[in-house]
Amino acid sequence: MVVPFHVTEMLKRVRARFFEQGHESRMLPKDDDFTTLRPVRTATEASINRYWTRLIQGPATDADKAAIADPDTVSRANHYSANIENMIGTVKLPVGIAGPLRINGLYADGDYHIPMATSEAALVASYARGAYVATKAGGISTAVLYEGVLRTPAFTFDTLLQAGTFIDWVVGNADLLKEAAEATTNHGKLTSLEPVIDNNVAFLLCRYTTGDAAGQNMVTIATNALCETIAEHCPVPIKRWYVEGNFSGDKKASSLGTITGRGRKVSAAVTLPDPLIEKALHTTTDEMLDYARVANLGALLSGQLGAQAHYANGLAAFYIATGQDAACVAESAVGFTRMERREGGLFCSVTMPNILVGSVGGGTSLPSQTAGLNILGLKGAGNGAALAEVTAALCLCGEISIVAAMAAGHFTRAHDSLARQR
């Protein structure tokens, strides 16, 4: 019999804490009065100072205010108003550069210096190493294979028959719904409308292209207009409708996203010559393949959606540095890494079906994030697809570097020297 020591130890700590003097009532509801913070949508120096006056009465200090509400941030508070409520300042993360990374893509073509914002030591060094070997090998080929951002409204009915009749009406009036959705945007296009029925509940998988924007808000507004048109014209009595039925995979890893994609689906690949692997990565093709097989088995046995080493590391750092929605890492970090022996070297590829990035909109207009996109040369209209290809290429660099480090037995040593010893 297996004795769960961690459970018994946890119970001991809970009991000890609960029965300490005065702690018996700490988890009960409390009706103590409190002073609410007045919400502020448009940030100003005065509103920031008002919040800090309140915070400094608690555990915060003047030093905390100086670190978050620095003079440059406060002087440009209005620049942030479209992206934040109740603003008290900005948080600074160190930004490193990986590259140059040579990309030979359908949209991204050139040598890119890639900004990465992170507090994790060794991360930028690892991606920079991957970028070096990929560029020495001639660069990474990339292609956007598919595009479509999903929003999936849900409609409830009394019976299955009503739900089926509703879907029949939707199919017959698809042009009307497409017109209503696209009237809300200059850039979004409704490309498909796919029904799914679960008894008396019907979902509509509304898929859009979103131009150069990531498009989360765009598709929400468009879909809301579509739903309002349905509610106005559909002869079937609808009990309730919701603009999102939690089917789309928005900010979640899902089987649907793994198969059909959400955002841009991008594939990136490079073949590394054997001598380059030995010289630059201090391992061999066979050793990397041996580890890759074990890692793929681990992914299979643990039930990963996809099979990859650590897309989330590169995605989070890149998304923060370029003004993307960092929460989209949850779905973007799904995909497949492949490594195969090819003549004279090692073929390495990633295919990522849920890359959600934009070169316009969202946080891309913030001062630091604008600078990050300018470093890439991908700020503004016409650069959304290229940015997605850069994202996939960056993740491939991370996969190459970490697999090589594991294969060579250098992973722990690198983190010890870069993350602890310095």
Our answer to whether residue 232 is catalytic in this structure is no
pLDDT of residue 265: 97
User: Residue 331: is its pLDDT beyond 80?
Assistant: yes
For 304, residues 6+ apart whose C-beta sits below 8 A from its C-beta are: none
In this structure, the chain runs to a length of 422
For 84, residues 6+ apart whose C-beta sits below 8 A from its C-beta are: 43
- Residue 281's nearest CA partner among 131, 154, 149 is 131
Q: Range with the lowest mean pLDDT among 190-194, 298-302, 410-414? A: 410-414
| SS3 category, 266 | strand
pLDDT, tens only, 158-169: 999 999 999 999
From the candidates 79, 187, 410, 415, give the one annotated as an active-site residue. 415
pLDDT of residue 421: 62
pLDDT, tens only, 231-259: 999 999 999 999 999 999 999 999 999 99
pLDDT, tens only, 80-108: 999 999 999 999 999 999 999 999 999 99
Give me the helix-helix angle, 123-136 and 384-408, nearest 10°. Answer: 100
The arithmetic mean of pLDDT across residues 18-23, rounded, is 66
pLDDT of residue 17: 74
287 and 365 in contact (C-beta within 8 Å)? no
User: Residue 420: is its pLDDT beyond 70?
Assistant: no
The DSSP result for 269-321, as a single string, is EEEEEHHHHHHHSSS-HHHHHHHHHHHHHHHHHHT-SEE-S-HHHHHHHHHHH
348 and 272 in contact (C-beta within 8 Å)? yes
Q: Range with the lowest mean pLDDT among 6-20, 260-274, 351-365, 371-385? A: 6-20
Model confidence pTM above 0.85:
yes
- Residue 391's nearest CA partner among 214, 249, 181 is 214
25 and 18 in contact (C-beta within 8 Å)? no
Percent of the chain residues past pLDDT 90, beyond the cut = 86
pLDDT, tens only, 104-143: 999 999 999 999 999 999 999 999 999 999 999 999 999 9
Residue for token digits 């960092």?
A: 326
Confidence of residue 197 (pLDDT cuts 50, 70, 90): very high
User: Residue 417: is its pLDDT beyond 80?
Assistant: no
Residue for token digits 């991360």?
A: 123
Separation CA 247–CA 254 (nearest Å): 9
pLDDT, tens only, 297-316: 999 999 999 999 999 999 99
The arithmetic mean of pLDDT across residues 207-220, rounded, is 96
From the candidates 45, 120, 182, 290, give the one annotated as an active-site residue. 120
From the candidates 187, 290, 325, 410, give the one annotated as an active-site residue. 325
Separation CA 69–CA 131 (nearest Å): 36
Confidence of residue 24 (pLDDT cuts 50, 70, 90): low
Confidence of residue 413 (pLDDT cuts 50, 70, 90): low
All domains of the chain in start order, with CATH: 40-92 (no CATH), 106-146+263-421 (3.90.770.10), 153-242 (3.30.70.420)
The arithmetic mean of pLDDT across residues 199-211, rounded, is 97
Our answer to whether residue 212 is catalytic in this structure is no
Our answer to whether residue 198 is catalytic in this structure is no
Mean pLDDT of the chain: 94
